[in-house]
Every structure is written in C-alpha cells, then in structure tokens.
Amino acid sequence: MSAPAIRLARAEDMGVVNDIYNHYVLHSTCTFQETPEPLAGRREWFARHGTAHPVTVAELDGQIVGWGALSAYHSRSAYRFTVENSVYVDARFQRRGLGAAILGDLVERAGALGHHAIIAVIAADQAASLGLHARFGFAEVGHFREVGRKFGRWLDVVYMERQNG
C-alpha cells in the first residue's frame, strides 16, 4: 500500500469525516459518544478549529480513509499550549499504518504550531490506540476507573501525554 497523502481538511470533507466517526460511535468504545453526530454538529465542530487547531484528512487514491485533529484541551488561557489529539481511520482500512501516518503528522504539526503538550484520552480497552500513542512517545499519566458506560459495561479511560521540547 502506498503512503497516504495527508492534507488540511476542508468544509466539503465533513460528510466523510462524520461518516468515519459515526461508525465508531455505533460500534466501538474508542469514543464515548453514544448517538451519531449529525452533520450540522460536525460542521460546527470543524468551524471551531482553525490554524492553531488543524483538522486533517488522509487520502488514498483520492479517497478519504481517515482523519485527525488537534483540539484545544481546555478553554482557560493557561492551557493554550496544550492540545488533545483525535485519530480515526475508516474501518475498512484499519491495520495498514494509516493511524500512524495521521498521528505522526499531527505530532509534527503540533510542534510546528508551538504546542508544548499533546494529550490523548483513550478507552483502556483500546489496546491498538494505546500502543500507537506509545510508539510516538506518549506516556500514561493517568488512569480513571469506570468513568464511562457504553454497550452495557463500565469503561476505564487512560490519559497519555507527549511533550514537544
């Protein structure tokens, strides 16, 4: 498989971005959202991102197969150098290195934008995501027990952090 092209997302990409995300809403614990995100909500989310908090898409042969985002971690000004990352790969394209390509790109963008820390909030049962983040220098900094409930079971959350110089 060739390497994906990763570019900044555009407003017209939000339908595909939302479809990829909503698959995980309905079928996975990688998001604790339980009802599908309406497209209007995804467009509002995208509008809140900007130069300092980019949304990217990964393309193979012109098809969007995943996306990533750097989001503000907290609204208080002292947190302005900290971001939270999101990485989602179209379920039909998993286990092909796309998540690593997207996360690697986000890490580079975060450094170039002057973000000092990147936070990842990951369900503890998501071993692939935990491993992916560890490969990129994220370390576990917190583990919250039974803080979410989805699909009839309690879920733990792991906080991971990576600092950029």
Domains of the chain: 5-163 (3.40.630.30)
Q: What is the pLDDT of residues 51-69, one digit of tens each?
A: 999 999 999 999 999 999 9
pLDDT confidence of residue 8: 97
Q: What is the pLDDT of residues 21-52, one digit of tens each?
A: 999 999 999 999 999 999 999 999 999 999 99
Query: Is the per-residue pLDDT at 1 higher than 70?
Result: no
State which amino acid sits at residue 94.
Q
Q: Helix %, strand %, coil % for the chain, to 5?
A: 35, 35, 30
Rounded to two decimals, what is the model's pTM?
0.95
CB 151 within 8 A of CB 29: yes
Burial class (CB in 10 A: 0-12, 13-18, 19+), 34: exposed
CA 57, distance to chain mean position in Å, is 11
